[in-house]
Chain A
Amino acid sequence: MQSKLARWAGSVLGLVLILASIWLITAVFRSGHTWVALTFTVILAGSIWLLASPRLYPWRYLYPGVFAALVFVVFPALYTVSIGFTNYSSTNLLTFDRATQYFLDQTYSAGGDALDMAIYPAGNDARVFLTAADGHSWVSDTLNLDKPTGKPVDLKVIPATAAPAGEKIALRGVIALQPALKELRISVPDHVSKYQISGFSKVSPSAPLFQQNADGSLKNLQTGDVLKPNIKTGFYETAAGEKVAPGFTVKVGLANFTQLFTSAQFRGPLLKIFVWTVCFAAGTVLLTFVVGFLLAVALSWESLKFRGIYRVALFLPYAVPGFISILIFRGLFNENFGEINYVLHTLFGIKPEWFSNPWLARTMLLIVNTWLGYPYIMLLVMGLIKSIPSDLYEASAIHGGGAWTNLTRITLPLIAKPIMPLLLASFAFNFNNFVLISLLTAGGPDFADSLTPAGSTDILVSYTYRIAFQDSGQNFGLAAAISTVIFVLVGALSLLNLKLTRVNAPDRK
């Protein structure tokens, strides 16, 4: 009984999912993205085949996870690489079709008889009331004018005999509503052109500003200029070669990469940042290993009491969420109000400028990252020390070996090999330790002479993030090109790591 119900539930769920996908595909198709819709159809057909074929039974279990990983991990990675070959940026944000559509949606007041407009409140919404010089008047349904929607809004008005009830909104209020009012395209009965706002309280007939010619160029009907799309720069250009915003995204080949590696303006900061990234990651691994190793050796010493308590206390920095402890350090290191400078000032009379001096900022990052990272290494080393046979130490004791001999001749050589891949993984992690940089220094102090936003503590990933998402000029294409370089570097590191792990595998068994 139960299994029957379960089987039905499965089929119904499958059917619902298929119907939902078909609905999605039609929605995409209708909005004009034929190729996307086609790709989706192929994916859907492939999915149904995978899930329905008895020969491919294991795929019923694999499919959801593999699908999610492909769509949300592998696809974004490949997509990032492909963006690296385009000029996608805040100035070239739209696709060619969308940019063209933007121009075709532009209108201008073509003259003609203006109508007076008044706005009457209706609860939280408002009504638009229009009056012609000859005494005709029209009124709209209620609509919300608090916020602009970001695109043209069509509005219909119907003939009215009197103004709507209530007091009309005063001019000051109407000015406040301008952003939303400017979006209105009002259809008035018996008038061919749509009306749009042409003053604070007037509307006039509007006409499309651009007309598309057969060769794809656009004619400005107001001035007579002709705009031609340039697929090299990603802009519509006038005959004089002047670019007209908004631009569109085009493929630019290797331009981003050439720019990165040959132009002095980009190569300078990139090189500095790369060197610091490597130093930061290597320094972190070295420091966390030294601290973690010494603590692990101490905690593995059987003569020591209270080891359990020490272990918990030492582990605590790892258990607290990173974003909280990093921000705590950001406050503690604050140059003027921070507790660390308070202590240093009381004891030694100094107030280091942790955030404005490049070297101090780098030192601070290494201190904080060592604090964040040593517990992990400590746990790993403790586990490895446990697996070292104790008769080795006994033999050493018989031969008169002291603690130092034990450490350098037994413990260190024996854990060196198995810890290597883990240290390499830690290097790779810190190579891309975006959260620490972003929350502690945000890359600062910034280079004064750089075109792109870059600072002395930026690592490669935080640099790409700033190029892509910081307020000034979002250059996604360039940022994606740097990401691609990092992908290659991380890939090389991972392969090296796999090799090291394989070399170790026989030892561990």
Chain B
Amino acid sequence: MAMVLDKSHTGRVFATHLALIVFIALSLFPFLMIISISLRAGNFAAGGIIPDHISLEHWKLALGFSYIDQFGHQVDPPFPVLHWLWNSCKVALMTAVVVLTLSTTCAYAFARLKFVGRKFGLNALFLMQMFPSVLSLIAIYAIFDQIGNYAPWLGIDSHGSLVLAYAGGVALHIWTIKGYFETIPVEIEEAALVDGASHFQTFRLVLLPMAVPILIVVFLLSFIGAIIEYPVASVLLHQEQNLTLAVGSKLYLYTQNYLWGDFAAAAILSGLPITVLFLLSQKWMVNGLTSGGVKG
């Protein structure tokens, strides 16, 4: 922009910088605080951002070790955080695999094949994802309670039930993958069909290898989605050993048993990998979607 800049311009730039820095400081205050709290001794100590005395007791507990406090008592980890993290990852990994498989095949049909009700199906999927699963919690609970009578490994308090409950959430992903498929020239697949390949072969051997970026994005998104999901998991899981991180974490902050310091360490330990993964998926998402180009 070729513009004449007056004197007040420098002042405005400076003011904007200042305002942004103040806002960012306020905005990141919780994160700085939580790091500081995780390094303080005890669960009730107040203090400034930089702790006077660094104590690793909360970190030991978060990593599953006991420690001896100043009175010589052994303090055991209050909750199996690493086990919860493992539960979360297990459920999320299975969910991501199932969701990716289901949504990729559906997206292929919507993008490449002709059938009656194609447009209706797409609109129905779009409408469906607007109703959050939290509205159906009662039915989800009742259904898995029933299933549990026949197959306990799919009933209440099982990870299988959680994966199944999440498996239905394919609507948005179908749209995403379909959008990407439509940006890939169909001519290559037509050539393969002419050469005698079946539909399934063109799908698996021609289309899928070209769509790897979007598959990774959808995989990561459904993985993260399953890790941070709270309502369904809170209804389906009960025993402490079975909880996922999202459900378990709140046990730290009960009024009767307030473990602020222990929570801080556990939150950083479990939140950091998920945050990094999310930032990575955002990077991929931007790349994957811009190179594919979102329609419309």
Name A438's contact: one of B16, B140, B230 (CB within 8 Å). B230
Who on chain B is nearest to A480 by CB?
A: B138
Cα distance, A330 to B282, chains bound together (Å): 27
Cβ–Cβ < 8 Å partners of B43 in chain A: 337
Cα distance, A104 to B123, chains bound together (Å): 51
Cβ–Cβ < 8 Å partners of B24 in chain A: 310, 313-314
Contact across chains for A321 and B296 when beta carbons are under 8 A apart: no
Cβ–Cβ < 8 Å partners of A79 in chain B: 136, 139, 142-143
Contact across chains for A483 and B106 when beta carbons are under 8 A apart: no
Tell whether B287 is near chain A: CB-to-CB under 8 Å.
no
Contact across chains for A24 and B46 when beta carbons are under 8 A apart: no
Tell whether A295 pairs with B275 under 8 Å between CB atoms, given A61-B109, A330-B253, A435-B231. Answer: no
Cβ–Cβ < 8 Å partners of A83 in chain B: 138-139, 142
Cβ–Cβ < 8 Å partners of A102 in chain B: none
Who on chain B is nearest to A331 by CB?
A: B260
Residues of B in contact, count (CB < 8 Å): 94
Which B252-274 residues have C-beta < 8 A from chain A? 252-253, 258, 260, 263-264, 267, 270-271, 274
Cα distance, A65 to B228, chains bound together (Å): 22
Contact across chains for B30 and A298 when beta carbons are under 8 A apart: no
Cβ–Cβ < 8 Å partners of B110 in chain A: 62
Cα distance, A476 to B27, chains bound together (Å): 40
Name B231's contact: one of A298, A434, A493 (CB within 8 Å). A434
Which A426-472 residues have C-beta < 8 A from chain B? 428-429, 432, 434-435, 438-439, 461, 464-465, 468-469
Cα distance, A320 to B234, chains bound together (Å): 20
Name B33's contact: one of A313, A314, A332, A469 (CB within 8 Å). A332
Contact across chains for A65 and B231 when beta carbons are under 8 A apart: no
Tell whether A275 is near chain B: CB-to-CB under 8 Å.
no
Contact across chains for A325 and B30 when beta carbons are under 8 A apart: yes
Cβ–Cβ < 8 Å partners of A298 in chain B: 16, 19-20
Tell whether A68 pairs with B102 under 8 Å between CB atoms, given A80-B139, A304-B16. Answer: yes
Contact across chains for A58 and B282 when beta carbons are under 8 A apart: no
Who on chain A is nearest to B44 by CB?
A: A337
Cβ–Cβ < 8 Å partners of A337 in chain B: 43-44, 46, 258, 260
Of the candidate stretches B70-78, B125-133, B182-190, B209-217, the one touching chain A is B125-133
Name B267's contact: one of A75, A303, A324, A397 (CB within 8 Å). A324
Contact across chains for B135 and A490 when beta carbons are under 8 A apart: yes
Contact across chains for B201 and A77 when beta carbons are under 8 A apart: no
Tell whether A76 is near chain B: CB-to-CB under 8 Å.
yes
Contact across chains for A397 and B3 when beta carbons are under 8 A apart: yes
Cβ–Cβ < 8 Å partners of A322 in chain B: 228, 230
Contact across chains for A61 and B136 when beta carbons are under 8 A apart: no
Q: How far is the CB of A370 from chain B (nearest CB, A)?
A: 10
Contact across chains for B121 and A313 when beta carbons are under 8 A apart: no
0/1 per residue, B4-33, Cβ < 8 Å to A? 010001001100110110011001101101
Tell whether B101 is near chain A: CB-to-CB under 8 Å.
yes
Contact across chains for B235 and A469 when beta carbons are under 8 A apart: yes
Which A461-498 residues have C-beta < 8 A from chain B? 461, 464-465, 468-469, 476, 479-480, 483, 486-487, 490-491, 493-494, 497-498
Cα distance, A493 to B132, chains bound together (Å): 13
Contact across chains for A76 and B102 when beta carbons are under 8 A apart: no
Tell whether A3 pairs with B201 under 8 Å between CB atoms, given A301-B16, A438-B230, A483-B135. Answer: yes
Cβ–Cβ < 8 Å partners of A12 in chain B: none
Cβ–Cβ < 8 Å partners of A313 in chain B: 24, 27-28
Name A339's contact: one of B37, B102, B231 (CB within 8 Å). B37
Contact across chains for A88 and B142 when beta carbons are under 8 A apart: yes
Contact across chains for B103 and A65 when beta carbons are under 8 A apart: yes
Cβ–Cβ < 8 Å partners of A332 in chain B: 30, 33
Cβ–Cβ < 8 Å partners of B17 in chain A: 304, 306
Cα distance, A33 to B30, chains bound together (Å): 54
Contact across chains for A465 and B27 when beta carbons are under 8 A apart: no
Tell whether A327 is near chain B: CB-to-CB under 8 Å.
yes
Which B218-233 residues have C-beta < 8 A from chain A? 224, 227-228, 230-231
Tell whether B167 is near chain A: CB-to-CB under 8 Å.
yes
Tell whether B134 is near chain A: CB-to-CB under 8 Å.
yes
Tell whether B170 is near chain A: CB-to-CB under 8 Å.
yes
Cβ–Cβ < 8 Å partners of A350 in chain B: none
Tell whether A175 is near chain B: CB-to-CB under 8 Å.
no
0/1 per residue, A301-343, Cβ < 8 Å to B? 1111010001001101101111111011111101001010010
Q: Is the interface of A mostly helix, strand, loop or mixed?
A: helix
Cβ–Cβ < 8 Å partners of A74 in chain B: 128
Contact across chains for B138 and A483 when beta carbons are under 8 A apart: yes
Tell whether A399 is near chain B: CB-to-CB under 8 Å.
no
Which A61-92 residues have C-beta < 8 A from chain B? 61-62, 64-66, 68-69, 71-80, 83, 88
0/1 per residue, A275-303, Cβ < 8 Å to B? 00000000000000000000100100111
Who on chain A is nearest to B108 by CB?
A: A61
Q: How far is the CB of B176 from chain A (nearest CB, A)?
A: 13
Cα distance, A435 to B169, chains bound together (Å): 18
Tell whether A57 is near chain B: CB-to-CB under 8 Å.
yes
Tell whether A28 is near chain B: CB-to-CB under 8 Å.
yes
Tell whether A4 is near chain B: CB-to-CB under 8 Å.
no
Cβ–Cβ < 8 Å partners of B253 in chain A: 327, 330-331
Contact across chains for A468 and B137 when beta carbons are under 8 A apart: yes
Contact across chains for A77 and B135 when beta carbons are under 8 A apart: yes
Who on chain B is nearest to A318 by CB?
A: B278
Contact across chains for A66 and B106 when beta carbons are under 8 A apart: yes
Pick 21 A–B contacts, CB within 8 A, sort by A. A61-B106, A61-B108, A65-B106, A66-B106, A68-B102, A73-B131, A74-B128, A298-B16, A320-B274, A322-B228, A323-B230, A323-B245, A328-B31, A328-B267, A334-B260, A397-B3, A425-B130, A429-B132, A480-B139, A483-B138, A491-B131
Complex A-B, nearest 5 residue pairs according to Cβ-Cβ distance, in ascending order: A72-B168, A65-B106, A79-B139, A76-B136, A61-B109
User: Which residues of A pack against B, CB within 8 Å?
Assistant: 3, 24, 27-28, 31, 56-59, 61-62, 64-66, 68-69, 71-80, 83, 88, 295, 298, 301-304, 306, 310, 313-314, 316-317, 319-325, 327-332, 334, 337, 339, 342, 371, 390, 393-394, 397, 403, 425, 428-429, 432, 434-435, 438-439, 461, 464-465, 468-469, 476, 479-480, 483, 486-487, 490-491, 493-494, 497-498, 505, 508-509
Known: A58-B113, A327-B253. 9 other contacts (CB 8 A): A27-B150, A62-B115, A80-B135, A314-B24, A334-B260, A337-B46, A483-B138, A490-B132, A490-B135
